[in-house]
Every structure is written in C-alpha cells, then in structure tokens.
Structure 1
Amino acid sequence: MTPRDLAEANAGVGQVLALLRPYRSRVILMSLFGLVGVALNSVGPLLLGRATDLIFAGALSRGLPTGISRDQLIAQYRQQGQDTLADVLTTVHLVPGGGLDLPAIGRVLALAVVLFVAASAVKWAQDRMATRVVQSAVADLRAQAQGKMSRLPLSYFDRVPRGELISRVTNDMDNVQQTLQQLLSQLITAPFAALAALVFMLFVSPLLALVVLISLPISGAVVSWLVKRSQSAFDRQWATTGSLTAQVEEAYAGHALIKIFDRRAHAEAAFDMENERLRETGARATFVSAVIEPAMMFVSNLNYVAVTVIGALRVAAGGLSLGDVQAFVQYSGQFSQPVGQLANASGQLQSGVASAGRVFELLRAPEQQPDPERPVPPADVRGRVEFRSVSFRYTPDEPLIRDLNLVVEPGQTVAIVGPTGAGKSTLANLLMRFYDPDGGQILLDGHDISRMTRAGLRSWTAVVPQDTWLFAGTIADNIAYGREGATREDVIAASRTACLDPFVRTLPAGYDTMLEEDASIISAGGRQLVTLARAFLAEPRLLLLDEATSSVDTRTEALVQRGMAALQAGRTTFVIAHRLSTVRHADLIIVMRDGRIAEQGTHDELVRSDGPYAGLIRAQAGAVRKV
C-alpha cells in the first residue's frame, strides 16, 4: 500500500466515523456505559480467583490436624525437606481442620453473579443505543445521497450506469451500516477492556503481564501486514459489485430484446464472467480479512501456554496463589479478546471504508449550477422563446449546437425535424435547463432562463418524452402526477383530451388499474397516451412533445392530433418528430442539420423550396412505398 493509499484509507475511516458526529452526545453516553461495563467485568476474575483460593484452602484445611497453626505447619514441612509444598501453603489461608468456609464462598460468588448481571445489563443498554445511533446515522447518509442525486446534473446520469448508482445507494450503503453496527460498540469498549485487563494483570503479576505484552508487537505487525493487503482487495470487490449490478439492471431492462435477438447465451456469458470476477475478488478480500482472527488466536494460544507454565512455576515457588493464576488467565483472555476484536474488526472496517468511499464519491460529485440568489421570473409567462447565438457540446471536443438563433412567438407551434443526431432533443434539454448552453442565451419573455430557478421555469412547462416513464401505482395516480391536487374529474378530462379514456374504460379496474414499474400490462402506445394525459393535466404555457406519438397507431395518432390541437391553443409548443405527417400543420418548421438550422418555414414553403425538408419527405415516402 502506497503512502497515498494509506492516506486515503485513513481519510475513509475518518469519513465513516464522521457520520456519528451529529450523535456525539449519545456516543459519549455509550462510552460511559462501556466504562461501567468494563469496570464491572474486570472485578469478576478477582472474585472468582478469591473463591478458588477459599475452596482450595478449605479442601487442604479439612485433612490437616487441628491444634496447629499454618506457620507451624509450614515450618514443619520445611524441616522435612518439603520446601515446594511449604512454598505453596504460604499462598493459602489455611485453617487446619476447618474445612470449607461455605458462607464466605457464597458471599464471593453472589457478588460475582451480581456484577456479571449488572455488566450484561449495561452491555445490553450500550448495544441498544449503538443500534439506534447507527440506524439514524445511515438514515442521514441515505437522505444525503437522495438529496445529492436530485442536485446532480443530467450529464452525471448520462455518464454513470444506473446499476452502478443503485449499487452505491443499496449494497454499499448496507455495507456501511453493517460495518458501523459491528464496530461501534467494539471500537468504544475494546480499548477500555484491554486497558483495564492490563492494569489488573500488572496488579496480579507484573512478570506474567510482561509475558503477555511481549506478544503485542508481534500481533500488531501481523495485523498491519494483513490490513494493508485487504484494503485494495475490498476496493476491487465493491467496484466489481457495482459493475455486476449495472449489468444485471441492464439485462433486466432489455430482457425482451435479449430474447428477440436470441442473445441469452451472450448475456449469460457476460454475467458469468462478471460474476466470476466478483467471486475471485470477494474470496480474496474475505480470505485476507479472515486470516486476521486465526492469526490472533494463534498468538493468544501461545500466551495461554506461556502464562500457564510460568504461572504454575510461580505457584510452586510461592509467588502466586492458585486463584491468582486463575484470575490472571481470565485477564489474559480479557486482554486478548478485545485486541483480537479490534484486529478482526479492522478487516470489516476496510470493507466498510471501501463502500463508504464509493458513497462519498457520489456525494462529492460536481452538482449542477445553483439557482441564482435573486431569480428574475417573468410576472406572467406569455411563451415567447428566443435562442440567441446558442452553442452547446456534450463533450469538449465534439460541438453539437453551433451559433443557433431562433425566435418563437407566444402561441406558436414549432416543429423541429432533421436526421438523428442533428440536435433536436438537445434543444428541448436546453430549454428545460437539463443542460446549460456553453455560449449564448435562451430567453423566455425576454428574461434569460439562467437567471430563473429551475423549479420556476419547469412549473410553466410540460414535457412528453419519447421514452415514457410511469411509476408503480394506478393509472389515475400516474396521470395526476402532472398537477398537484388534481381531482378524479380533472384526471378523466385530461384522459379524454388525450384519447386515453376509451382505452382505460376497457380495463377491468379502469382508472384504478395498478401498474408495475415497467407498466408492462399496457401497450407502448397506451403508456404514451398516459404521459400525454399527464401533460394535458399540467396546463402548461410551454409544451415540449418529443416524438409524443411515435408509439401510437395511425388512427389513434389522428385522434391525438385533434386533442393536441386543443391543448396547443394559446400555448407555445415545440414538437420534435421524425414522422413528418405529424408536423405539416405547424406554424413553423425548423430543419436541423449538424447542430444548425438548415432551413425554416411552413410546410408549404419548405416543400416549394425543394430543400432538405422536401428531401426528408421524399425519403419517408419512398420508405413507405417499399414497405
């Protein structure tokens, strides 16, 4: 891992923990709970060691003769040459002939039980608080991601696959949540627990504590080596997860075409290849992370062996009691467990940091230009639109619109025609401020639309796109989306204008027919009629129809044209069409070619001029005859 990678990883950890900043008061309270729980747990081994000493002393005392003191018994054993037994007895509170002190043992064990129960209750309260904090923090992060996506320019969504975005706000977000949930309590409690265990180990036996501490640098070196290698593996894993999600989303959206062109084997092969990549990267990341725990366990087991052997020798030498060794072994476990938890958590943390990095990359993406602080909306929109020396390009080296000038008077219907890629739909995107022009101005009633708020501009505009968008809900809900507070009568009136009402009446549930997200239960023409009705309901001053009748049959198109004529009355309308039969009655026809206006005029004027428009008519007529 390079220094730059390490700096980015540390920054990622800081970003993950920064999610908890709004809840620092709760985190502080959780820390206090953790301190209390650690303190209660840390006293337990001393009490259990005391109980062991009482039981051991009672068992030895029962078989000894009465009437002799412990010191006399020890001196007697030394005179007999049994120095080891004498040394062991110096660590035991003997009462020759006394037997087990059951009341004392009971008091010690009862106190230990009370402490352990209290520690469990505190731990439960801490975990409950951690769950609430994590859920709240991740909910805030989801809200930030959702708000960010609403502020991103359309160019971002053109550049980033939808599946990749879905993966970031679902898979990566869930991984961040799981990481925080798993780590929050451990990161707070584990350092305290390790420190408390170390203090008690030093209190019981500094020599044995030194034995345990010798292994700490070894553990640290092993964990550091493994963590450095796991970070890049987790980065690749979650990047591959996003790529696979994008591929699945794309295949699902186009499943009909995949079947039509018999490309199922190709789609499955592409999926299998990406899935195999994810398997390999996931297995590598998980393996490197999973090695941390057994490595720590191995070092911990070596500690147990060393502590047991040296502790037994110290008991034999009279330096420690049997209860002290027992307590120290427990403290050694209490020290190794949080250190192992922190080491094991580092692997999970690397996974969470990788996912958090992808989420924060979304949050750092450049946003669309903000609305002006002092917007200048027209007092009453009449619908005069002017393109003044407008130029635009999607990519820096490929200009699309070049020095375009156009004036559309209020109430006019302007048709924009031309070959694919000529810039027809781009004009609509610029007028709606989905994109801003690189040069020139677009004026609405004499006001530069860049000085208006996007919401204000779009409140006067309705768009019927070529690609219909319907959401899961009833047909009535989808139509009512065009105007807030629309009544059922408004919905039916708009549906009648769009020639949708007869079709809806044929459905068993009528306007209450439920549509899924893809609205597959109705035809493409039916979906387009729903979007038309939605636009009619909005009652806009500007109407943009982007191939609005491309999916309806000829008879329905004629009906829709009459409805559209009623809708267009008194409104400025832009009609983008390939089918020239839909634009012959427009007030003005603009022929686009290579990002410029090749010619303009009425249908009759352009036919007489025998220019590009007449060529398009002849080309379509020839195509129809061939069919």
Structure 2
Amino acid sequence: MTASPVSAPLSSGQRHPLRVLLSLVSEEKGRVARAVASSVINKIFDVMPEILIGTALDVVVRGKDSFVAQIGITDPVQQLTLLGIATFLIWFGESLFEYFYQILWRGLAQDVQHRLRILCYDHAQHLPTSFYEENRSGDLVAVLNDDINQLERFLDRGANELIQTFAAVILVGAVFFIVSPLIAVIAFTPVPAIIAGAFWFQRRAQARYDAVRARAGGLGARLTTNLQGLQTIRAFGAEVRETAALTKESLGYVEANRAAIRVSSAFIPIIRMAILSGFLATFLIGGWLTLTGQMQVGAYGLLVFLTQRLLWPMTGLAEIADLYERAMASTRRILRLLDEPRGEPHGEHDATVSGRFEIDHVGFRYTTGPGGVTDINLAIRAGETVALVGPTGSGKSTLIKLLGLFIRPQKGRITLDGVPLADWSGERLRKSMAWVPQEVTLFAGSIADNIAYGKPAASREEVEAAARMAEADGFIRDLPDGYESQIGEYGQKLSGGQRQRIALARALLIDPAILILDEATSAVDNETEAAIQRSLAKMKGKRTVILVAHRLSTVVHADAIHVMDGGRIIQSGSHDRLVECPGLYRTLWNIQTGHAEMA
C-alpha cells in the first residue's frame, strides 16, 4: 500500500468495526474502484450466457422472426453463428475480469493484513509492562495472527461476493422488468425474506463469534505457554495432565465454533425455500403466459434461467454473513488492543543524560494483585552505584520499573537530572538506559548479533570491547565459531551464566548513562557472579548503576544500599555500616554467610 504501515493509528471510539475496516482501505480508493469495477463487469459477463440461451431458443423456435433478425441477420444459421461468437467473447471477458478482480481483491487483502499486523505489533511494543502482567501473551499472538487473518479472508472473498450479489440483483432485475414486469414482481417477492433472514442471522451470530475469538485467544495462550515450558512439563512428568488441559481448551474452542455453525447452517435451508417459491412462481406463471401466447418461448426460457441467476447467489449471503461476523468479531478484538494506552513517555525533553534521580514521595499499587511501593523518597547521584535489596515482594522490581518508566507512579514524582521523568523523550531515555533482567531474552542468531542488538551498526571491535568489559570475551572465543556461533532460540545452546554475560555486554555496548541490573546474579554460578562484580568495579563512577539483588555478595561494594520491605525503604547505608547495625540487612547477610545465629 502507498501509506506507511503504521500511519494514522486506529481507534474504535463509537465507530462501527466495519467503518474502521473501511478506513484501512481509504487511502487506496483507486485500487478499490478498479476491484469493484472488475467484480461488476465480471458479473455482467456472468449473467449474459442465460440471455444468450434464451436468444438461442428464440432463434430455434421462430427462425427468421427471432429477436436477432431485428438487427439485420435473418438466416438462422448465421444467427446461431453470431451467438456462438458472442458466447466465446462473453466467456473470455468473464474469465479475464475474474482474473482482474481476484488479483485486485487478494492483493488489497494482503496489504491490509500486512498494514494492520504491523500497526498492532508496533502499538503492542509500546504498551506498559502492566498490560503484559495482566494479559496472556497467547491472546496477543491470536490477535496479531488469527484475528488479522480473519479480516484478510473477508476482504479476499466476502467483499467481492457481496458486490457481485448486489450487481446480479440489479442486472437481472432490470432484464426481468424489461421482459415481464409481472414476473419480475413475483420473482422479487422472496428477496425481502432473504434479506431479513440475513439480518436475523447477523444478530444471532455476533455473540457466538465473539465467543469463538475469545476461545481462540485462550487456546493460543495455552499452546504458547506449554511450548515455552516443555522442559518443565517433562521434568515433572506432566505430559498427560497438560495434554488433558489442552484437550479441554481445544474442545471449548470446538464447542464455541459449533454454536456459531448451528446458526449459520440454518440459514441456507431457509433461503432455499424462499428461492423455491420465487422459482416456482416464475416457472408456472411464465409457462401459463407462454402457453396462452402472451410470452415467447425464448423469453420464457430466459426468465426461468435468470430466476436461478437472481435468487441462487443469495444463498451465498450465509457464507458472506459468516465471513463478515468473524471479521467483525476479530476487528473488535483488534480495536480493544489498539485502544490500550501506550506506556512510553511522550515528552520532548532531549538532552544528554547524566543519571541523577530524585524520587519524591512515590507510591504505586497494582490493581490486579498485591505488591507495589509506598512513600518512597530517594536520591541517586550521577555515577553512583546503588543497590536495592530485600525479601521477595518487598517492592524492588516495582521501583526499578518506575525508574525505567515502564509503569508510572500513582503518587509523587520522579525526576531525572531535575526534569520530570515523563517529560523526557522516549527515544532519549531508551538510548540512555540499559536493562539486564534476571530472565535474559536472547534471539536466534550469532553471539555478535545479540551483543549488537541495541546498536546494530556497531563494529566488531566495539562488540568485542563490550564483551571484554562484561567478562564474556574468553568463553566466546573458546566456542568453535567464536562470535559467529549460533546460539539457538532464546540462547538455549548457552549456559545461564553465559547468557547473563552476553546480556550485560549487550547493555554495555550502547554505553548507557544508567545501567539497571534486575536480579542479574540470582541464578548464576560463582564464576559468573565474580565476573559481573569485576565488570561493575570497572564502570564504577562512570555511569549510574542500580542493582536489584537477593545475593548480597554482589552489592557489598555499592556506594549505597537501600533495604526494602513491605514496599518501603527501611534501611540505607553502605555494606559495612548496615552489617554493624541490627536490622533486616544484617539478618539477611548472616543467613547468606552461614552465621544466622548471630542475627
């Protein structure tokens, strides 16, 4: 498409999902017009063979007095020859424009699918951390994949069929009224019943297809979780139990689909009976008019054939309505995602970051569970190494999420270099902060590619320098392919300590003013912990480092240690000072060093 794939974010507001869907193709009006024109022209050619059959019957029965004779060709053989040539040209035209409309509609469907998927993915990347804490990743995958595919299927098939159905009604109706207004009125009698049936179906199906999409999200979430946790499933011998759980989820999806199918399956038989009434009326009344000499045989044959052409395509309204309702249910889910507010800062302040934080009476509580922080007051100087320690659930991770602006404080304020954190440019913040989490995410590819993830244009010398600073260069060079070694999905070919050091190298490569390590040493061996400690010692005073740790041996050299419990800071000081004073820090230190009796 000509538009940027992430231009003009969509929002549902009070708009109908169909209007939102149409807005996706609004910038392709010329292309849509060509697709619509190809569909209509194809339908014109599609209707004409019935007219030729009626004309041929007229030639066979009336000979020199036929309709064709009125254009100057009186010989019946020549008339049939002309009709044969016309038939060839009509079939060729029909085939040609079928090719055109398929190319145009399918191409448009693919482009809309691509644009919408990129738009949704781009939006998802900027959602706050709280969104992912409260929603299943499988639901998001279902929206980005299955729901968007539903829209593609509707545009690929449903839009063309809808246009051609209406074109057939108009074209055939015009011929009917020209040939016999009486039969036209009779033949059109079932149309209101068919349309009413389509609306009835649409109302009944909407809730059922919403349920189908919700079940699809649940099934996707279960599959995603299980595939990521296969090792844990095997380790606990839970294969049978997890298969049973997946079977239950899959059956729920099947049952939701069956409920929708029961409604859609009832539509065609009802429409068949409406069609039968119109066909029988044309068949009997037209036959009577022909027998009494009020209508020519050719005209009678034409109307009988066209009755089928008029009414039978309307059975396709059931399939179109089915595609439409699935597409609208998917659109509603997509819009709910796009309506989620972004968590990224939208400020404009853009300056070099030194790394000085001021936290003033900050509070935050989760709406979906316990945890958070209360009345936090803290000053972090630029270039200082600060540690946050405390038991699980004490608020450490919440505080660093607030500092990284992954969540926003509900009370108080946080400033960076004297400027409110929310006023900073999001791009500047991300370039100035680096994060090393406990659960490292690496991507399939080489070690060099993963280290350079935050700075793709980095030279090999820069990559290797970052690896040396993270104490990773040695083990990397011992690998058969060195920095070009392929690490597999999630870095599964590496040990936990190796992944952690690569993550640290990745963070250091961008030379951040602020480095946050969230439990980066909690699950590594002593050698990796010592390597990370040496790395931290090298950068002391050069950047602001914020450590979150359970393993207190990692933080002994920090400039300041803040002990958290119950969402509050209860102690602060250096390691030596905190060990000397009674309190939680000394208790934790004694437990970890094997001197619990001293607490």
Q: Does the TM-score normalized on the shorter chain lie above 0.5?
A: yes
* Residues 208/377 of structure 1: CA separation in 2 closer, same or farther (3 Å cut): closer
Q: Secondary structure at the match of 2:189?
A: helix
**1:322 counterpart residue number:** 297
Give distance in 2, aligned partners of 1:207 and 1:241: 51
The answer as to whether partners of 2:128 and 2:406 remain within 8 angstroms in 1 is yes
305-314 vs 347-356, greater mean Cα deviation: 305-314
1:102-155 deviation per Cα after TM superposition (whole angstroms, max 9, x unaligned):
112111231232133223322321222112222222222122212211332221
Give distance in 2, aligned partners of 1:455 and 1:112: 65
1:222 aligns with 2:197: yes
**1:371 counterpart residue number:** 346
The answer as to whether partners of 2:134 and 2:368 remain within 8 angstroms in 1 is no
The answer as to whether partners of 1:465 and 1:548 remain within 8 angstroms in 2 is yes
1:489-538 deviation per Cα after TM superposition (whole angstroms, max 9, x unaligned):
22122222222222223322221122333221112222111101112212
**1:46 counterpart residue number:** 51
Give distance in 2, aligned partners of 1:623 and 1:269: 48
TM alignment of 1:185-200, pairs within 5 A: 185-200=160-175
**1:564 counterpart residue number:** 536
TM-superposed deviation, 1:178? 0.5
**1:296 counterpart residue number:** 271
Max radius of gyration: which structure? 1
The answer as to whether partners of 1:230 and 1:288 remain within 8 angstroms in 2 is yes
1:264-320 deviation per Cα after TM superposition (whole angstroms, max 9, x unaligned):
222222111111111111122123223323432343244333322333222211122
Query: For 1:410, which of 382, 395, 410 is the aligned residue?
Result: 382
**2:251 counterpart residue number:** 276
Supply the AA of the counterpart residue of 2:460. Answer: R
Q: Secondary structure at the match of 1:518?
A: helix
1:529-566 deviation per Cα after TM superposition (whole angstroms, max 9, x unaligned):
11011122122221111111223211232233112211
Give distance in 1, aligned partners of 2:339 and 2:130: 15
Give distance in 2, aligned partners of 1:236 and 1:203: 48
Query: For 1:460, which of 428, 432, 436 is the aligned residue?
Result: 432
1:441 aligns with 2:416: no
Supply the AA of the counterpart residue of 1:363. Answer: L
Q: Secondary structure at the match of 1:414?
A: strand
Give distance in 1, aligned partners of 2:353 and 2:344: 23
Q: Secondary structure at the match of 1:610?
A: coil
1:18 aligns with 2:23: yes
The answer as to whether partners of 1:387 and 1:443 remain within 8 angstroms in 2 is yes
557-566 vs 26-35, greater mean Cα deviation: 26-35
The answer as to whether partners of 1:191 and 1:338 remain within 8 angstroms in 2 is no
Q: Secondary structure at the match of 1:565?
A: helix
Give distance in 1, aligned partners of 2:170 and 2:555: 81
Give distance in 2, aligned partners of 1:420 and 1:240: 34
TM-superposed deviation, 1:240? 0.2
1:416-439 deviation per Cα after TM superposition (whole angstroms, max 9, x unaligned):
100111111122111111112122
TM-superposed deviation, 1:474? 0.9
* Residues 207/623 of structure 1: CA separation in 2 closer, same or farther (3 Å cut): farther
TM-superposed deviation, 1:609? 0.8
**1:255 counterpart residue number:** 230
Supply the AA of the counterpart residue of 1:390. Answer: V
1:390 aligns with 2:365: no
1:331-388 deviation per Cα after TM superposition (whole angstroms, max 9, x unaligned):
112211342323431121111111111111111122236512xx3344x433322212
1:36 aligns with 2:41: yes
* Residues 49/413 of structure 1: CA separation in 2 closer, same or farther (3 Å cut): same
Give distance in 1, aligned partners of 2:67 and 2:416: 97
Give distance in 2, aligned partners of 1:409 and 1:575: 14
Query: For 1:618, which of 585, 590, 594 is the aligned residue?
Result: 590
**1:584 counterpart residue number:** 556
1:217-245 deviation per Cα after TM superposition (whole angstroms, max 9, x unaligned):
33233333333222221111111000110
TM-superposed deviation, 1:446? 2.3
* Residues 437/493 of structure 1: CA separation in 2 closer, same or farther (3 Å cut): same
TM alignment of 1:71-90, pairs within 5 A: none
Supply the AA of the counterpart residue of 2:169. Answer: A
Query: For 1:27, which of 32, 43, 46 is the aligned residue?
Result: 32
* Residues 10/188 of structure 1: CA separation in 2 closer, same or farther (3 Å cut): farther
Supply the AA of the counterpart residue of 2:250. Answer: N
TM-score w.r.t. structure 2 length? Answer: 0.91
Q: Which runs of 5+ in 1 are unaligned?
A: 1-6, 62-69, 71-90
* Residues 559/8 of structure 1: CA separation in 2 closer, same or farther (3 Å cut): closer
* Residues 466/414 of structure 1: CA separation in 2 closer, same or farther (3 Å cut): same
Supply the AA of the counterpart residue of 2:209. Answer: F
**2:221 counterpart residue number:** 246
TM alignment of 1:107-256, pairs within 5 A: 107-256=82-231
* Residues 370/561 of structure 1: CA separation in 2 closer, same or farther (3 Å cut): closer
Q: Secondary structure at the match of 2:539?
A: helix
**2:510 counterpart residue number:** 538
1:309 aligns with 2:279: no
The answer as to whether partners of 1:433 and 1:454 remain within 8 angstroms in 2 is no
Q: Which runs of 5+ in 2 are unaligned?
A: 1-11
228-237 vs 333-342, greater mean Cα deviation: 333-342
- Could you list the runs of 4 or more consecutive aligned residues of structure 1 that deviate by over 4 angstroms after TM superposition? 7-10, 91-94, 396-399, 622-625
Give distance in 2, aligned partners of 1:350 and 1:10: 16
Give distance in 2, aligned partners of 1:285 and 1:241: 14
42-51 vs 250-259, greater mean Cα deviation: 42-51
Give distance in 2, aligned partners of 1:342 and 1:9: 27
Give distance in 2, aligned partners of 1:255 and 1:412: 42
Q: Secondary structure at the match of 1:502?
A: helix
The answer as to whether partners of 1:414 and 1:588 remain within 8 angstroms in 2 is yes
**1:75 counterpart residue number:** none
The answer as to whether partners of 1:495 and 1:533 remain within 8 angstroms in 2 is yes
TM-score w.r.t. structure 1 length? Answer: 0.87
Supply the AA of the counterpart residue of 1:376. Answer: H
* Residues 15/564 of structure 1: CA separation in 2 closer, same or farther (3 Å cut): same
* Residues 494/370 of structure 1: CA separation in 2 closer, same or farther (3 Å cut): closer
* Residues 107/92 of structure 1: CA separation in 2 closer, same or farther (3 Å cut): closer
Give distance in 1, aligned partners of 2:421 and 2:97: 60
Supply the AA of the counterpart residue of 1:410. Answer: A
* Residues 195/478 of structure 1: CA separation in 2 closer, same or farther (3 Å cut): same
TM-superposed deviation, 1:455? 1.8
Give distance in 1, aligned partners of 2:126 and 2:534: 38
Q: Secondary structure at the match of 1:336?
A: helix
Identity of aligned residues (%): 32
Query: For 1:528, which of 469, 476, 500 is the aligned residue?
Result: 500
Q: Secondary structure at the match of 2:378?
A: strand
The answer as to whether partners of 2:139 and 2:217 remain within 8 angstroms in 1 is yes
Q: Secondary structure at the match of 2:593?
A: helix
The answer as to whether partners of 1:54 and 1:100 remain within 8 angstroms in 2 is no
The answer as to whether partners of 2:434 and 2:507 remain within 8 angstroms in 1 is yes
Q: How many residues align?
A: 582
178-187 vs 572-581, greater mean Cα deviation: 178-187
1:609 aligns with 2:584: no
TM-superposed deviation, 1:21? 1.8
Query: For 1:344, which of 319, 329, 354 is the aligned residue?
Result: 319
TM-superposed deviation, 1:473? 1.3
TM-superposed deviation, 1:396? 8.6
The answer as to whether partners of 1:9 and 1:353 remain within 8 angstroms in 2 is no
**1:103 counterpart residue number:** 78
**1:356 counterpart residue number:** 331
30-39 vs 499-508, greater mean Cα deviation: 30-39
